[in-house]
Amino acid sequence: MEQRDEILAQARALATEMTAEEQAALCSGQNFWHTKPLPRLGVPDATLADGPHGLRLEAGRHDRPGLHDSVPATCYPTASLTACSFDPALLRRIGRALAEECIQEGAAMLLGPGVNIKRSPLCGRGFEYFSEDPLLAGECAAGMIEGLQENGVSACLKHFAANNQEAWRLVNDAVVDERALYEIYLRAFEVAVHKAHPDAVMSSYNLINGSYAGESRQLLTRVLRRQWGFDGLVVSDWGAVNQRVKALAAGMDLEMPGPDSHSDAAILRAVQRGLLDEDLLREAAARVSAFALAHQHDRHEPYDAPAHHALAGEAAAESAVLLKNEGMLPLRPGQKVALLGGFAKTPHYQGGGSSQVHPTYLSSLLGSFISKGADFVYTEVFAPDELAPHKRRLAAALESVKAADVAVVCLGLPDSVESEGFDRADLRLPESQLALMEALKGCGKPVTVVLYCGGPVELPFAEEVDAILWMGLAGQNSGAATWHLLYGQRSPSGKLAETWPLRLEDAPFAHTSPAFGGRESQYRESVYVGYRWYDAAGLPVRYPFGHGLSYTHFGYASLTHSMNKRRLRPGEALRVRFVIKNEGSCAGKEAAQVYIQPPEGPAYRPVKQLAAFGKYYIEPGREALASLTIDPRAFMVYDPAAGGWKTLGGRYRILVGSSSRDIRLEAELEVEGEPVSRALDKREAAPGYYAVTPGADGAPKAWPRAEFEAVLGRAVSAGPEEAAAQPGEGSDAGAADAAAEKAAGKAAARQKLKFDRNTPAGELRRSWLGRRTLSVAAAVMRRHLHAPSPETARRMLEGNLHQMPLRALALMSGGRLSLTRVDGLVLLLNHQPGGLRQLVSGKARPKKISLHDAGHGEAG
């Protein structure tokens, strides 16, 4: 920290010697992956590279996204799996290894980790995120950040904040109440910032309660810098900037990608006209310079690729979760195995999009069976991207099972389902795989299912098989890791970082996602995310948060805590101790979890929430003494009216267990409370948040709009079902009123501009010129997309291009398309004069600007 302070002081001194033009120039990128240098003052450029579970840096070119030819690098297991290790120390080791690979390739910053909350298992990018629980997510992120930065590579914590879906991510508005925002969606960032001090934070694409995250001074300055003490660089997500001057005033230092001469000019004009404080610009330029100066010595030291490959396998084995085992596993040497499913040969080991790594090696389960000399027969049955069942292959699979002692079936999601840019439509496995599982019913042989997917899937066959091993997206050494677990060379020790529901309809967001109209997501569930919802509602789940089996068994005993004789005071931490004993016949690791159960009070709260955890290696018959600290924040809620955190007093229960629903030990604790605002009490206005119950069919009932408005503090739009149930519908008078309103709306729409900078590109299909423009843009983007299948490429194109605002086309073009020309296109699409001239020439007449509309500068 001292060295960072010294470099920042040096950069601030240099910034005072810069001209305003130089300061503005430093605040946008040189190209897709570099900051701008300032040779006159000795400020170098610096390279940024994609992460988070492996280095993705395009070889040679830096003027494009680089989804084609990235350098070879180790593909580690994705965050959705490594979080299941419940082991921040393992994430720290992965971070160190990632830093070594960045150093070899000259990358100063890795864009990761991603710490967004897994609000929905449908999120297409969910494999990049750790958990539905903010404490676990924040601790895992802190481990990776520490590993990266202690080896001299900057981490960039992302995506700040409430970026919880891929659909309409560049224009979606996350409508979330303040308590949920602070207690759930910001909390993981806060934990990581306080514990690991990342060098950078990336602001997200989306809006939060009507304002772009990258233009929110509340988020970027008041919360991030003033409340949390962050002193690093704030960088935009690629193409996320809406209004550059407003973003800089909010606290965003660096806009990526570049070059963006419009932004530089807009910043300069805003300073010259007194619309932007020149001290803010100078400080932003100093932060960008400090980052570059900290990495001015290129080391390019080679890393040990085989050792990193081994670490990837170790991390996968440490994190994989044994969901079910009825004596089937581990497999015994000499058993003849029927190995079924295309994932055994062609592993699904990572998701698609900007995090896609070009692996240095790649192991498969089939390859491990061959190299180990196992007695087996392999039947593909289905290719990984094959959706429809094939009768002849099914028959062949059954024949191979008859001749075997056991069946190991490799199932998973195809590449076209899990990717950045689009969300999953459901939690179902493909019909080709479900047909195989149906055919195996009554086969008379033990069946183990190995799952390769980044998140929960529905498992209609779960009760009919003997064992289920979830490997997640286990990285490039997934094959060897799976083999080691199946044959007992390692005992599974992973625990689920995300609840697996019985069905999608049980999830709390089911009535508010996908977003209403595609442009708004109402977080009506408030703090009831993941297990907080399922436990509060008493809903059965397939596998609970924290669940995971082992080849041994652990007993718990002797729970004590540090407040046995007095009340816990506000702001005071609690120490808990208990004993874990390995009661089985093999060594293993146990991830013990401590939850708190709050008393009833003025604020609605979950039934329980994770407060601490620890992982312990224990030999057979031996014991470990677990000693864990519960942070004071666990006993607090955010009080919006008071503008801060408040301890709620009363009698709490301390719960220790092996999962959120496998509680082994309990104790009580009296906590001294603090005064809270009256506005925190919503029992009368929003009773459904205090008595959480599912609907008549067992599925979540949508929280009424009136109750959500009481919690949120303002009015919101009606959901589809609510809009359909409006009074007057069906009557003649109501129909007449609706028709008149519809006609008036159409007339008003004709008078309004149809297109603007924030119009999603997909809406260009409404006009001939728009369709031609979209066709050209699609052709350009296809050249840069690297996808494992045509279907994945199609869905990525649909998600990334068609939902991208027009302004982002310019930002992502690498300078080939200016915002002036985008504005000309908008004028032309709206049949306004001057559009064609501006589109062709790239020049337009100046107009007056304000801080609000300066954005990337005037049209000229």
253 in active site: no
What residues contact residue 857 under an 8 Å CB cut-off, 6+ apart? 244, 262, 263, 265, 266, 269, 819, 849
Cβ–Cβ under 8 Å, residues 354 and 797: no
| Cβ atoms < 10 Å from Cβ of 392 | 7
Alpha-carbon distance of 793 to 797, in angstroms, equals: 6
Q: Choose, from 133, 199, 237, 264, the residue flagged as catalytic.
A: 237
User: Which uninterrupted H or E stretch holds 687?
Assistant: none
- C-alpha dihedral over 393, 399, 403, 408, to 10 degrees? 40
Cβ–Cβ under 8 Å, residues 353 and 362: no
Alpha-carbon distance of 75 to 561, in angstroms, equals: 41
Cβ–Cβ under 8 Å, residues 264 and 228: no
Helical H segments across 303-430, by residue range: 305-319, 365-371, 391-402
The residue behind tokens 């029992």 is 683
Helical H segments across 785-816, by residue range: 790-802, 806-811
What residues contact residue 831 under an 8 Å CB cut-off, 6+ apart? none
Cβ–Cβ under 8 Å, residues 252 and 236: yes
Cβ–Cβ under 8 Å, residues 609 and 585: no
Locate 102 and state its tokens.
């960045």
> Residue 295 CA to chain centroid, in angstroms?
27
3-class secondary-structure state, position 96: helix
Q: Which of 417, 401, 293, 429 is nearest to 338 (CA)?
A: 401
3-class secondary-structure state, position 721: helix
Alpha-carbon distance of 150 to 83, in angstroms, equals: 21
3-class secondary-structure state, position 2: helix
Locate 326 and state its tokens.
């009825």
Cβ–Cβ under 8 Å, residues 98 and 56: no
Amino acid occupying residue 709: E
Alpha-carbon distance of 130 to 78, in angstroms, equals: 8
Annotated catalytic residues are: 237
